[in-house]
Amino acid sequence: MSSKIARGSLIMLIGYFIFRVGGYIYRFVTANLLGPAGFGILNLALPTQSILIQIASGGMPPAIAKHVSEYSAQGDEEMVKQVIHTSLKIVIVLGLFFSLIIFLLADPLAYGYFHKPEAALPLKLVALITPFSVVVGVFRGAFQGVFQMGNIVITKAFEQVFMISSAIILIWVGFQVAGAVTGTAIGFLFSALAGYYLYRRGLGKRLKDVKLSFTLKQELSLAKVLIIFALPVLITGLAETALFDAIGNFIVGRYLASEQLGFYGAATPVARLPLIISMSVATAVLPATAEAMGLKNRHVLKGYVNQSYRYVSLVVLPMCVGTFVFATPIMKLLYVNSAYMNGAAALQLLSIGMLFFTIYTVSSSIAQGLGKPYLPMVILIAGVILDVALSMYLVPLYGITGAAAATTITALFIMSTIVWKTLQVADVKLEYKDLGRIVLAAGIMGAVLLLIPQSLLISSATLSSSLSNSITFFSKYFVFLLVMILAATVYVVALILVGGLKKSDISAIRKLSNKTGPLKGKLEKIISFIERFAH
């Protein structure tokens, strides 16, 4: 069983990575193709799409996974099939209903709230996405319930490939923002088709001859059970989307021009990159914490909690410091249009906010492992209220920098609150000295990076645009690669000097290096050298 869980977690981590990277590529490509104004309008449609999908799915995928897994273990095939059929009916009804709602609200939102008539058509096109996305959610929940994690990854891959390629083609032929939104609908369509095919070939084939005998009353009772389980998931998901995607974009969209919204939308995906790290740690720490609680082993629990915070801080903190220092060159590197450098100040603040949010993410998983799933939900709801209030006040005064500041202050609030409550519930004290050494090492790295002229990095990215393609790629990224190597070297040396490198860190790095194939030998030499300085 443990090997099944480990394998499933690894596959899901790959799927999450594909989903995240695909989302980043989609945003970077559309930003460069549409320009700031067009990309700004797209950033009104995308959060609307995320909120609509979550509401329409009703938080069903985890509920389906839980009940399908439970009934499969009991050998009750009729209930497995009934859960899938009932869930499908629920999400189709919700999907069609909320698609109609957003279609009818598109004009009032575009003309009345955002004061941007050009946003009306993209907002209407969002309605196309929902029916396909909710069906995909049912299939993914069913696959998760029977540990067919590979099928989930396949549907995500279909979604990303067709979404990105369709959006690029439709923008190129002249459909602009409407084409970018339609591309997401095409991605979900092909994902749904892939999910249906995989279901029919696997779980559906197994359940083909199973007869359903539920009455309407029994099915309504089952629907109630599913919805009650799914409600906290839905509320938490909506709160996260609101905090880190919707609120900033919606309030910036109301008070500022489309170009400013485009600058803000260009900064947010860069700031979110550390979330890939925190989500991988969060995926592992939830079952580990739950296991330690089940065994009533306080020593092991303390180790899991402190290791989780430590590993996230070790990796994410220097990433955020580097992003803060080189925000302007990074924006120039990623976006062809130099106007996007106007989002650099927002990126600096958001990089700090995302550091807070990565720690919140890990704390949230620890709280769930401790049997307190409602704790993150309550804190997130309080965070949404705070973010709306701060954004409404700061955006009219400070523009997109105000929106970034509101998000960062809110992230600090939810991080501080959940860490405090989680440690209280777990009865664990943080190893503040170890975390302090990591902060000091990252600070030393940041101080060294400040000595590098930013004009050097900006000019390397600017110069490359006038050269041939092969030279462009080399010149544009070579200087950044050298700076990244320098930053990593300074950070490791600083960690050693301040006594922040542990033997357990070396052990974790060695385990990762053992999976690098032909690079294993060379990495082992480096690791063995560094190991002499660990304590």
Range 59-69 average pLDDT: 84
Contacts by 416-422, CB closer than 8 A, 24 or more apart? 417/379, 417/382, 418/360, 418/363, 418/364, 418/367, 418/375, 418/376, 418/379, 419/359, 419/360, 419/363, 421/367, 421/375, 421/379, 422/305, 422/363, 422/366, 422/367, 422/370, 422/372, 422/375
pLDDT at 8 over 50: no
pLDDT at 301 over 90: no
Q: Quick one: pLDDT at residue 326? A: 92
Give domain status of residue 43, yes or no.
yes
Torsions phi, psi for 176 (to 5 deg) = 50, -130
Give domain status of residue 149, yes or no.
yes
Choice between 13 and 160, residue whose per-residue pLDDT is larger:
160
HSE, CB side, 13 Å, CA atoms: give it for residue 403. 29
How far separated are the first and last CA of the chain, in Å rounded? 35
Burial 130-162 (b: 16+ CB within 10 A, else e): bbbbbbbbbbbbbbbbbebbebbbbbbbbbbeb
Q: Quick one: pLDDT at residue 4? A: 43
Q: What is the share, in percent, of the chain residues with pLDDT greater than 70?
A: 85
Please, what is the average pLDDT of the chain?
84
Q: How confident is the model at residue 433 (pLDDT cuts 50, 70, 90)?
A: confident
pLDDT at 77 over 50: yes
Q: Quick one: pLDDT at residue 2? A: 39
Neighbours of 391 (CB within 10 A): 25
Q: Quick one: pLDDT at residue 397? A: 95
Least confident of 93-107, 340-354, 490-504: 490-504
Instruction: Output DSSP code: residue 372.
Output: -
126-166 residue pLDDT tens: 988 888 888 998 998 888 787 777 888 889 889 999 999 99
Amino acid at 333: L
Q: What's the number of domains the chain is made of? A: 1
Give domain status of residue 437, yes or no.
no
Give domain status of residue 130, yes or no.
yes
CB-CB contact of 234 with 59 (8 Å): yes
Q: Quick one: pLDDT at residue 511? A: 67
| pTM of structure | 0.85
Give domain status of residue 99, yes or no.
yes
With tokens 């979110």, the residue in question is 272
Q: How confident is the model at residue 350 (pLDDT cuts 50, 70, 90)?
A: very high
pLDDT at 250 over 50: yes
Choice between 404 and 367, residue whose per-residue pLDDT is larger:
404
Q: Quick one: pLDDT at residue 460? A: 61
CB-CB contact of 370 with 422 (8 Å): yes
Give whichever of 235-239, 297-301, 414-418 has the largest mean pLDDT.
Answer: 414-418
Give domain status of residue 61, yes or no.
yes
Domain of residue 158, residue span: 1-213
277-295 residue pLDDT tens: 666 655 555 555 555 555 5
Least confident of 75-79, 118-122, 241-245, 518-522: 518-522
With tokens 């299939």, the residue in question is 139
Q: Quick one: pLDDT at residue 530? A: 76
Name which of 126, 135, 141 is nearest 191 in CA terms.
135
CB-CB contact of 531 with 471 (8 Å): no
| Integer Cα distance of 245 and 448 in angstroms | 33
Q: How confident is the model at residue 90 (pLDDT cuts 50, 70, 90)?
A: very high
Q: Quick one: pLDDT at residue 467? A: 45
| Integer Cα distance of 103 and 70 in angstroms | 38
How many Å separate Cα 304 from the centre of its chain? 23
Give domain status of residue 206, yes or no.
yes
Give domain status of residue 363, yes or no.
no
Amino acid at 207: L
Range 273-280 average pLDDT: 69
Q: Quick one: pLDDT at residue 282? A: 57
